Amino acid sequence: MPKIIPIRDLKNTSEISQMCIEESEPIYVTKNGYGDMVIMGMKLYEEKMFMLDVYNKLNAAEEQLNDGKVIDGSVSLKNIRDKYNV
């Protein structure tokens, strides 16, 4: 369940920091009852950025596949072997 806190609670920085470390999902901050910000711990942020990078690479690979920009695996290996005399 997402954690939602009012913006006035941000005054308690050490408590907010601890909350960010303990939570496994972002913390939503509201202002006047409406969503205003999202905060998260550094570890969670890095995990999210890593997964975003993976999804972007998968999307690019899918586009290349759809555009026919692929080489057969055996042909590719032969080209590498020929290039590096392996």
How many Cα neighbours within 13 Å face the side chain of 32?
0
- Going from N- to C-terminal start, the domains of the chain cover 1-40, 42-86
CA-based end-to-end distance of the chain: 55
Q: What percent of the chain has pLDDT over 90?
A: 86
Give me the CATH topology for the region 1-40: YefM-like fold (3.40.1620)
5-41 pLDDT, tens per residue?
A: 999 999 999 999 999 999 899 999 999 999 999 999 9
Record the pTM.
Answer: 0.73
Tell whether the model's pLDDT for residue 2 goes beyond 90. Answer: no
Q: Which residues contact 3 (CB under 8 A, 6 or more apart)?
A: 19, 23, 25, 27, 28
